[in-house]
Amino acid sequence: MMWIRSFLRGWLIAAALIAPMHAIHAAELAPAAILAALASDDNTARNEAIGQLGLLASPGGADILAALAGGQLLLTADGTLLIRRGNEAVNCATGDTVSVPADAQPISLNNRLRRSLQAAQASSELFSTNVATRFAAAQRLQKEGDPARAPAIKRALEGEQDPEVRQALNIALAASSVKSPDADERLHAVALMGDSMDPAFRPVLSAMLAQGANGAPAETDARVRAAATKAISQIDKHQTVVSWVGNLFYGISLGSVLLLAALGLAITFGLMGVINMAHGELLMIGAYSTYVVQLLFKSMAPQWLNWYVVVALPVAFILTALVGMALERTVIRWLYGRPLETLLATWGISLCLMQAVRSIFGAQNVEVANPSWLTGGVTVLGNLVLTYNRIVIIGFAFAVVAVVWLVLNYTRLGLFVRAITQNRRMADCVGVATGRVDMLAFGLGSGIAGLAGVALSQLGNVGPDLGRGYIVDSFMVVVLGGVGQLAGTVVAALGLGALNKFIEPFWGAVIAKIVILLIIVLFVQKRPQGLFAPKGRSVE
Amino acid sequence: MNAATRSSTLSYESGTLFSAKAWAGIVAVAALFAALPALNLIFPPGHSLYVSAFAIALIGKFMCYAMAALALDLVWGYAGILSLGHGLFFALGGYGMGMYLMRSGKPSPDIVPDFMTFLSWKTYPWFWSFTEHFWYAMLLVLIVPGLLAFIFGYFAFRSRIKGVYFSIITQALTFAAMLLFFRNETGFGGNNGFTDFKRILGFDITSPQTRAVLYWTTLAALVGSLVLGRAVMQSKLGRVLTAIRDAESRLRFLGYEPLGFKLFVWTLSAVICGIAGALYVPQVGIINPGEMSTENSIEMVIWVATGGRGTLIGPIIGAGTINGLKTWFTSVFPEFWLYALGLIFVLVTLFLPQGIVGLVRKLGRGDKGQSS
């Protein structure tokens, strides 16, 4: 029986390879030989036929495969194949639409057939008219690395025009031909793998270099072994670059969040020497106002839902600025010159704010969804995903810094703020309304916290204790950056963020925090006034 | 800082620790509190003089808090150093005691607790060795918070980290330590901490007699720290500390190096706080990293502020008042407790800068002024 089967298989392959060269009948979905094999009750022949369908560069093959996968491919007693379309059916051999015969039964699949069906569908996607589908299919084949796919990939390469898809196909070909018996082909495949720098190939390559059971390397050809070693080092080098770039990106991202959180704190601390322990709760209010804006958009303007974040920014800014100014007027104003007491009073306020949010919104986290333009990300260096929300927040943080810089340097309020930071008494003497400026500056600092809250809501959970985690970190930024120095705050925030992310992979997040704390304590030994210490008489 | 300058609460002239009236008051109040467990032991439940075991445990707990507050008052009230990290020293003392209690409750002290079994540790790690001996565990209770405070304080005070900077760095230290203790693999029991205590020095830890002894020990320790604190603050050293609080730069110009003074009071405070933690654990039956949370440490500060800082007796009153309120609120209006606590923070700092003791003194003076 075996010889009959292998004969049949050979014949079918031959028929299928020849088939596309003939002009297929306009209405015919697939060559008759393949259809016949599919209709037979021999599972091996069916298996082959499914494979052939995957190689057909025609939409008909894909149609049949999809129908087979969906259980819509029917077989009548006389061996006719039909694709069910509702109450009617399409005859695969003629393309005619007929009514479904009574004796038509769906073709059932066993596991083996189902596997080859999946593979065949993937191959047939290589011939899709859609570039993205072809690219995705090529990428999937790279992962599979099945030598049986090599012919399909080669065929696809012949007709492929798009350079990106061609490159992906080349790599897929390498993955599938690396087990080829031909040493030259293997050599070529290994070189391609090295050039692709895809870490997915590393196990394959190291398996080639590994010692077999008899002590000899698995790969017999010395040239291929040398190429494999080179390819591995290429891949490893690339991975090092990727992890550095990744750490840098996530470090800058964390830094930008810290920057947003610390910026407002730096302004109020620099101006009034006041630690606002409720600053974290202002972040939280900003995040919750994002949530409320999102709810309002959902119920009132669902078509604009994608842009709720843009509206949330001014809402959060104004709301938190008002809260901040109210705090300044009612509590902090009365505690000037008593920074430790201010710390306690603002802590009390933070407790009340947290509990208020718990009473209104519940103790659970609320759901703030990213709008579609903030979901997903760009893939760089092969396998590093930089998410859009982080990229946008990095840009946003710098935009906020730029605006704050402009406000401080080119507005009347900024002038007054700088004057008071340098010498409160003298500013008061020359007629600066220090009380009013304090209030406005406190409002500005709090408003920035609100903006930071909007940004935070796009990155993580929004809950009543959102702010708690940031107060210590933000103050570390202020300590490190020095008082009243925007540049110091920026450098300190980004530096701490990056440092954190570079330590984390080695020692974990907790040790990273402790190490950073120690670094700050030691740093303050050397420069008690921070990175960018003010010079001159204003120094205490 | 300069608000405290205005306080005229300290009488440096007298060489004696307390006036006769103060001594009488302390002895009377201490005797009153000492009688409570006796009432619990003597009278049967239901009797009008019976004091419930719950009340004894609660007051015992409050006295530990009061000790911690007293320790905080030494640094904040007198030396002007606001620590937001005293919960760490309290918890460290508690962990030392907790480890001893956990080991002494097991059939053999070499049996490792469950959390170590889960880590597949067969023996106790080096830093817990010898903790099956009570004396050694007590030594740890004294040394670990003291040493940590000494090292941290040395670096912080040497570089003249002051005011809010120092406060926030102590907070960060506590926060980092809490994260470390929350980890399972560090050998501190992770989230659950140490619990399941059965025996202390061979006595059943749940029996009323043991509880009474623990209570009396705590009371004695509290009164002892009060007397010690008073002795320190009445001495010349105490005057230098107050001078540091009021005008550190001026003191420096006069030729004093504040580092040693600050370091001494800071370390002393940490040790007292550690003892309070060690006494706290057997009475509540558990120690976990939650004790190191930043909230707890700041709450200690408000005990001191409410009672009146720089008065030694004030923090004890404050700890009792706030915790009494907390117990009442959390059983009657649990959702309003944080509002109340927040308001206390704000109102005390705004309207009661000298705390309850300051208010009483002011009223007392006011009355005298009217009568004379």
Q: What pLDDT sits at residue A531?
A: 67
Count of domains forming chain B: 1
| Contacts with A268 from chain B: Cβ below 8 Å | none
- Sorted by where each begins, the domain ranges of chain A are 2-183, 197-240, 244-526
Q: Are A156 and A126 in contact (CB under 8 A)?
A: yes
Distance from CA of A495 to the nearest CA of B (A): 18
Q: Tens-digit pLDDT profile for chain B (372 aa)? A: 444 444 444 444 556 788 888 889 999 999 999 999 888 888 888 888 888 888 999 999 999 999 999 999 999 999 999 999 999 999 999 999 999 998 888 888 888 888 888 888 888 888 888 888 899 999 999 999 999 999 999 988 887 777 888 888 888 888 888 888 988 888 888 888 888 888 888 888 888 899 999 999 999 999 999 999 999 998 999 999 999 999 888 999 999 999 999 999 999 999 999 999 999 999 999 999 999 988 899 999 999 999 999 999 999 999 999 999 999 999 998 889 999 999 999 999 999 888 999 999 888 886 554 443
> For residues A356-378, b (16+ Cβ closer than 10 Å) or e, as one string?
bbbeebeeeebebebbeebeeee
CATH 2.40.160 fits A244-526, yes or no: no
Residue A539 has pLDDT above 60, yes or no: no
pLDDT band at A358 (very low <50, low <70, confident <90, very high): very high
Whether B151 and B64 have beta carbons less than 8 Å apart is answered as no
Residue B162 lies in a domain: yes
| A472/B171 CB distance under 8 A | yes
Q: What is the pLDDT of residue B4?
A: 43
Asked if residue B298 belongs to a domain, the reply is no
State the pLDDT confidence band at A537, using cuts at 50, 70 and 90: very low
Start-to-end Cα distance in chain B: 33
Check whether A13 has a pLDDT greater than 70.
no
Interface membership of B151 toward A (CB under 8 Å)? no
Average pLDDT of chain A, as a whole number: 81
Residue A524's pLDDT is: 74
Q: Which of A162-176, A217-231, B109-123, B231-245 has maximum average pLDDT?
A: B231-245
Cβ under 8 Å to A: B residues 312-371: 335, 338-339, 341-346, 348-350, 353
A334/B161 CB distance under 8 A: no
Please report whether residue B124 resides in a domain.
yes
Q: How many whole angstroms separate alpha carbon A44 and alpha carbon A339?
A: 83
Residue B216 forms part of a structural domain: yes
pLDDT more than 70, % of chain A: 89
Residue A380: helix, strand or coil by DSSP? strand
Phi, psi of B263, deg, nearest 5: -60, -40
- pLDDT of B20 reads 86
User: Closest partner residue to A351 among B155, B182, B342, by Cβ?
Assistant: B342
Residues from chain A contacting residue B176 (CB–CB below 8 Å): 510, 513-514, 517
- B342 lies in some domain: no
Residue span of the structural domain in which B164 resides: 2-293
Say what the pTM is: 0.76
Instruction: Please choose, from the candidates B186, B152, B191, B151, the residue with its C-alpha nearest in 3D space to the C-alpha of residue B169.
Output: B152
Residue B334 lies in a domain: no
pLDDT tier, A232 (very low <50, low <70, confident <90, very high otherwise): confident
Q: How far is CA B367 from CA B139, B352, B357, B360, B372, in A?
A: 49, 19, 15, 11, 9
Contact of A200 with chain B, judged by CB distance below 8 Å, is answered with no
Average pLDDT of A501-508? 82
Interface with chain A: mutation pick from B325, B338, B347, B348, highest number of A CBs within 10 Å:
B338
Give A151's pLDDT tier (boundaries 50, 70, 90). Answer: confident
For B161, name the nearest residue in chain A, comparing CA atoms only: A528
The overall average pLDDT reported for chain B is 88
Q: How far is B2 from chain A (nearest CA, A)?
A: 7
The residue among A123, A136, A225 whose CA lies nearest residue A183 is: A225
Residue B8 covered by a domain: yes
d(CA B333, CA B176): 33
- Answer with the residue of higher pLDDT: B126 or A54: B126
ipTM: 0.87
Contact check, Cβ <8 Å, B155/A522: yes
Higher pLDDT pick, B121 / A213: B121
